[in-house]
Structure 1
Amino acid sequence: MIKNDYKFYILYILFSGVRGDSCNRVSYIRRRICAFKGSSVDIICTYNGYNHVTSKFWFSPERSRQWQNPSQAEDLSKDSQYSGRVQVFETETGRSTLRITDLRETDSAQYHFKFITRAFEWRSSLPGTTLTVTDPDLQVQVIWSSVGPKLVCHSSCLPPGRSFVWYKNETKNPEEISHVYSGYIGPADSYSCAIEGYDRYRTFPVYVPKVPLVLMSNTGDIMKETSVSLTCSSDANPAAKYSWYKNHKLLSAGPQLVFISIQYSDSGDYYCAAKNELGKTVSEHILINVKYGPRLTNISVSPSVEIVEGILVTLTCSSDANPAANYTWYKDNRTLLQGPEGIYHFAPISSTDKGMYHCKSENPYRQINSTSLFLDVHCKWK
């Protein structure tokens, strides 16, 4: 490994023309620079000519096809593609700065500095400074750790000499300049970041999901065997993942809960949860009460043995319904009694009560008659 390093050093000397402190050489302050579209950048080099420098300029080998003589580098400040956007200046002897403003993606290239003395022309083939111009791709990454969420301001491009800026609830936090947010991350707060000097490229804020909103496909009563869907949505960044609960038990994952043919057994208390890497919130509870009309109306008699006048007899009408049914009793098609209980008492029964009985059950959605029952009352022997 030492031998390879030594060989590279010898090659560097040969290509750069190093001959001591007074030798001809160009050194670039940064080999690689990344910058945002629309911004400006300074590309800096230092140079030394052991004789008087008669000419110096910046150029880009990538533009060689546009040169009048491709074998001869041309001054970048005279290139029409950079017209009005290039400035070259020296703040001290032997230090040149190329400033490019209003950067475009087509400016992504390698930039070299060239100088000519009375006896020497710098023609080094060693790399210059490579500039990459890109759209800002800043984003706040949320990483979960054993102590909770961690926020990282990530960008594939970091302009030189810049630190990061963090915002909490739209207010800049001057103490946070690292790419990792070090403060407490509150569940009710939002966080965003930018690169110093490029506030217009600030990221969208990240935050815990807001209280989810639940929308139901049905606006009126929910009838048995109809189709019903519940949709959960929440404002969140990163995007939320959803789950559904019935009576506090996990049902399913996903933003939508669908009943193709809802049953009475599906009645219950429902809510959804929205969760991202920063936290979790739940919606308001929704009570689903599946309605249906009466069905299977039945009559029973007690006692069920031979009925003799003078004893206590009860007729009972029952039906499955939601809401609960009201009942009407009939004897030989004559109305006897109406009420929610469905019970008709004979106290005591007499021979005149002999006849044909039936009941009707009804709620707002349906009414249905039972089958008829003949009640035979026998005389009591003395």
Structure 2
Amino acid sequence: MRGAAMSLTAASGGFVVLLLTVSVVQGQDGWGVTYTSTKICAFKGSTVDIHCTYTYPPRIKGHNTTVERTFWFTKVQNKEPVDLRTDSDYTGRVQYHCAENSCTLIITDLRESDSAVYKFRFITNQDGGCFIGSPGVTVSVSDLQVQVRRSSEQVELRCHSSCNVADHPSYVWYLNGQKMEEERFSLRVSVNDHNRYSCAVKGHEDHCSPPVYPPVLPSVSVSPSGQIVEGSSVTLTCSSDANPAAKYTWYKENGHQQSQLFIRKSQLVFRSIQPSDSGEYFCVVENNLGMRTSRYIFIDVTYPPKLPSVSVSPSGQIVEGSSVTLTCSTDANPAAKYTWYKENDHKYHSQGPQLVFSSIQSSDSGQYYCAAENNLGMRTSQYIFIGVKYAPVLPSVSVSPSGQIVEGSSVNLTCSSDANPAAKYTWYKENEDSPKASGQIFTITDFRAEHSGNYYCEAQNERGRQNSTLHLTVGTSSPLLGNSAGMMNIIRLTLVVLMLIPLLLLILWTRRKKTPLSSTTEPNDYEETVEMDSPPVYEDVSDLKAVTAAETEDTEEQEDVV
């Protein structure tokens, strides 16, 4: 491969700046390529023409030289240059205009990616007869831009290009696409002026700069859409159109306090969102031309009920007949529904956060709990014990051992009553001021006749007192409670007497039959015989059970009568 240097020319379409005007590449024996420039600066969207001429020896070793192929390239693959016409990056934008010993490359709709070094290559029929023009032409594609410089409440706009434009050309300004009268290098506007400004080099108005403008009203979105559940990943996105590009800041509204700064990015990401993240959010977008604030977006984090808490009102002691309210509360979103239950009772007692007893009874005592539920889950509270305070009910009394009370035996009197708090028991004997004993059980270890009488048990707590009475008698099988037991003993006594009368009559009749008619016995003697035979009757009577003191006196009167 050979290199040489000689004069060149270049042509360009659109706005093109030729930085160097001559580039000659020449090899030995007449081989060479001549470019019009080593550097070209062109604006984005314009068209550039890169021209060269080339030379070669007309005859080598008796053989005429002919050119078989010419092309331009920027890339080399497998040590072989790639023809721009086959490069996908230039599809539809490259043309060759080649004639004898000259060739022009035309690139339309220039892109910033087209910035590269372009070289020309031609291939001849001679052995080793190919030549590349080095170092080639460096093309820089630049976008005409409006530079923004802010000071206080004003903004200075300057038309700028990275290409060094010679001779201080004039510039044309555009307001919202309409040409302005100003033809100067810079322009001053106000902050938050919601207009669009662009510029162009005069004479090349078809290659206008991109417009600059403050942010438009930002839009905000939530991803994923739909219900936001505690622990899920949620992303808030703020977007706005602005040039220069805007900076983003996310805030959370804190009521009357200053809003809380969250993050200086267009996206606010919650990896595992929590209920405390619920609230109103907004974003602010800003560039040197102005600032805009988005609408508020409400983040409502849903979650299942937390562990419910339960309370009792009024606090303190719960008295039978009073009004009592149990309240269940929990934190949940959506709001929880409440159900009240009593331990070991499968049916619910109330639906709603409150369970109200307008007149609570002792039967309402027990363990209660509430269940809080929404569409995300259910939680149950801890148990709360309701102990209703009430006075003792009428005590029940009993004697042990049951059956006949034998003089000298040990007797236990037992008293029991339902009460809350538990009752205290005191035993009294009728017509005696001082108590006989305290406690549920009163024991008489050596029962004597003087122990007979009425005893009563008094059950007492802070809410009230009740008492019950029983009667004890020596020789009875059980205490006498009321007149019905006495009546039963009288009936039994009467039946025994009626059964003995026929037996006595039979004995008298038998004896009388055996006595001689001449007997001197008087009728009074007969009556004495009867009286002498009557003691067995009294013995039977003494064995009767459950006789009261009054009934005993009646029996003694009957004995006297007999």
Identify the TM-score tier after normalising by the shorter chain. 0.5 to 0.7
Shift of 1:168: 0.7
Q: Secondary structure at the match of 1:207?
A: coil
Shift of 1:183: 5.5
Does the CA-based 8 Å contact 2:211-2:243 persist in structure 1?
yes
The corresponding residue for 1:230 is 236
**d(CA) in 2 for partners of 1:41, 1:330:** 88
Post-superposition Cα deviations, 1:177-223, rounded to whole Å, max 9, x if no partner, equal 10101455762211110001112221111111122222222211212
Q: Secondary structure at the match of 1:293?
A: coil
Is the aligned partner of 1:177 residue 2:190?
no
The corresponding residue for 1:93 is none
The corresponding residue for 1:4 is none
Is the aligned partner of 1:320 residue 2:327?
no
The corresponding residue for 2:304 is 293
Shift of 1:37: 4.4
Is the aligned partner of 1:376 residue 2:350?
no
Is the aligned partner of 1:308 residue 2:315?
no
Post-superposition Cα deviations, 1:70-114, rounded to whole Å, max 9, x if no partner, equal 9xxxxxxxx847xx99xxxxxxxxxxxxxxxx89999xxxxxxxx
The corresponding residue for 1:274 is 285
The corresponding residue for 2:175 is 168
- What is the total number of aligned residue pairs between the two structures? 287
TM-score normalized by the length of structure 2: 0.45
Does the CA-based 8 Å contact 1:37-1:136 persist in structure 2?
no
Does the CA-based 8 Å contact 1:176-1:182 persist in structure 2?
no
The corresponding residue for 2:266 is 255
Does the CA-based 8 Å contact 1:211-1:281 persist in structure 2?
yes
**d(CA) in 2 for partners of 1:103, 1:315:** 86
Percent of counterpart pairs with the same letter? 44
Q: What runs of 5+ residues in structure 2 fail to find an aligned partner?
A: 1-9, 32-51, 55-96, 99-105, 109-114, 117-137, 254-258, 392-463, 466-562
Higher Rg = 2
Superposition RMSD in Å: 3.9
Does the CA-based 8 Å contact 2:155-2:189 persist in structure 1?
no
Shift of 1:284: 1.5
Does the CA-based 8 Å contact 2:322-2:359 persist in structure 1?
yes
Does the CA-based 8 Å contact 1:36-1:103 persist in structure 2?
no
Q: Secondary structure at the match of 1:352?
A: helix
Does the CA-based 8 Å contact 1:311-1:348 persist in structure 2?
yes
The corresponding residue for 2:41 is none
The corresponding residue for 1:46 is none
**d(CA) in 2 for partners of 1:273, 1:223:** 26
Q: Secondary structure at the match of 2:332?
A: strand
**d(CA) in 2 for partners of 1:309, 1:144:** 80
Q: Secondary structure at the match of 2:186?
A: coil
Q: Secondary structure at the match of 1:328?
A: strand
**d(CA) in 1 for partners of 2:360, 2:190:** 81
Shift of 1:358: 2.1
- Which structure ranks higher in relative contact order (CA pairs < 8 Å, sequence separation ≥ 6)? 1
Q: Which letter maps to 2:308? A: T
**d(CA) in 1 for partners of 2:236, 2:11:** 45
The corresponding residue for 1:189 is 195
Q: Which letter maps to 1:337? A: S
The corresponding residue for 2:341 is 330
The corresponding residue for 2:165 is 158
Structure 1 residues 214 and 151: CA distance shift in structure 2, 3 A: same
Shift of 1:41: 9.0
The corresponding residue for 1:148 is 154
Q: Secondary structure at the match of 1:211?
A: coil
Does the CA-based 8 Å contact 1:246-1:269 persist in structure 2?
yes
Q: Secondary structure at the match of 2:318?
A: coil
The corresponding residue for 1:38 is 13
Structure 1 residues 220 and 280: CA distance shift in structure 2, 3 A: same
Shift of 1:328: 1.2
Shift of 1:291: 1.3
Higher helix share: 2
Q: Which letter maps to 2:170? A: S
The corresponding residue for 1:6 is none
**d(CA) in 2 for partners of 1:271, 1:329:** 42
**d(CA) in 2 for partners of 1:182, 1:373:** 75
Q: What runs of 5+ residues in structure 1 fail to find an aligned partner?
A: 1-34, 44-59, 71-78, 86-101, 107-131
Structure 1 residues 65 and 368: CA distance shift in structure 2, 3 A: same
**d(CA) in 2 for partners of 1:135, 1:160:** 20
The corresponding residue for 1:7 is none
The corresponding residue for 1:55 is none
2:23 to 49, 57, 62: 62
The corresponding residue for 1:206 is 212
Q: Secondary structure at the match of 1:181?
A: strand
Does the CA-based 8 Å contact 1:245-1:272 persist in structure 2?
yes
Q: Which letter maps to 2:387? A: D
The corresponding residue for 1:243 is 249
Shift of 1:160: 4.1
